[in-house]
Amino acid sequence: MAVTLGERKSGDVYVLQASGFIDTSTVSVVEEKITKLFAEGKYKLVVDLSGVEFVSSAGWGVFVAFLKKMRDKDGDLKLSGMIEKVAKVFTLMEFDSLMDAYADEDAAVKSFSR
Q: Which residues bind another protein (CB under 8 A)?
A: 21, 23-25, 54, 56-58, 60-62, 64-69, 84-86, 88-89, 92-95, 97-98
Using the minimum distance from each CB to another protein, give the nearer residue, 16 or 55.
55
CA-CA distance, 99 to 95, in Å (whole number)? 6
Using the minimum distance from each CB to another protein, give the nearer residue, 58 or 107.
58
CA-CA distance, 71 to 77, in Å (whole number)? 8
Q: What minimum distance in Å lies between the beta carbon of 58 and another protein?
A: 7
Q: What minimum distance in Å lies between the beta carbon of 3 and another protein?
A: 11
Using the minimum distance from each CB to another protein, give the nearer residue, 73 or 85.
85
Three-class secondary structure of residue 49 per DSSP: strand
CA-CA distance, 72 to 63, in Å (whole number)? 15
Question: Degrees (nearest 5) of the Cα angle 99, 6, 1?
Answer: 95
